[in-house]
Amino acid sequence: MKDVYRMGIMIRDGWIESAERCPSPNHNDRPETAVPELLVIHNISLPPKRFGGGYIQQFFQNKLDQDAHPYFAGIAGLTVSAHLLIQRDGTLIQFVPFDKRAWHAGQSEYCGRTECNDFSIGIELEGADDIPYTRQQYVSLAEVTASLIRQYPELNADALTGHSDIAPGRKTDPGDAFNWNYYRELLNLEQRVQPDSADQKEIT
């Protein structure tokens, strides 16, 4: 598959070249015929509603120190991951290559299809349901989404959903604080840039 470079984002072998790599052991292969067809947006903050500290990275790598905060004792034994984390300043940290199956959705259903991990990409925003996300996060999310749509033909702008939508009653993220309209506006702007424009090129 060709690599796509757009607005500073290039995906090569399932990894964003400009993202910090923080490999998680919590992933496996997708089913043989499965490809990314859905993008699931989550939020996470550790401890809840506190940002920074590197605890999310530790959590997804099974290295969380449960003595660092009382909340951590209840989650330290979980084995979960997402493909990508977007921090409050828009920085990208990638845990799992996009062609692999990250463990982010859990028990889930989308348009009658279960096991959403099989065919989805999970992106975590550092945040909480009731705390506004930053402009930098929306910009990074839109840029990443546009690049993913160009990289994976089965993924499109109609296949964007929240964790709460595929696991209703069990999950609430990304919450009411997430502005879907603003996100889609930025994504539309990103997608207006044609593949042969000055700020995008394909690398074979």
14-46 confidence digits (pLDDT tens) = 999 999 999 999 999 999 999 999 999 999 999
Locate the DSSP E strands across the chain. Answer: 3-6, 9-12, 15-16, 20-21, 27-29, 38-44, 84-86, 92-94, 100-102, 109-110, 113-114, 120-126, 160-162, 200-203
Residue 80, pLDDT score = 98
Q: What is the CATH number of the domain that holds 67?
A: 3.40.80.10
Domain interval for residue 128: 3-203
| Total domain count, the chain | 1
Residue 128's pLDDT band (boundaries 50, 70, 90)? very high
Residue 202, pLDDT score = 38
pLDDT above 70 covers a percentage of the chain that reads: 91
Residue 199's pLDDT band (boundaries 50, 70, 90)? very low
Cα-Cα end-to-end distance for the chain: 8
124 is catalytic: yes
Selection from 190, 200, 82 nearest residue 140 by Cα: 190
pTM of the model: 0.92
Residue 195, pLDDT score = 56
Residue 196's pLDDT band (boundaries 50, 70, 90)? very low
Residue 8, pLDDT score = 57
Tell me what the mean pLDDT of segment 179-187 comes to.
Answer: 97
CB–CB of 112/47 below 8 Å? Answer: no
Residue 193, pLDDT score = 74
Q: What is the pLDDT of residues 3-14, one digit of tens each?
A: 443 455 899 999
Among the options 17, 109, 124, 154, which is catalytic?
Answer: 124
Q: What is the pLDDT of residues 52-107, one digit of tens each?
A: 999 999 999 999 999 999 999 999 999 999 999 999 999 999 999 999 999 999 99
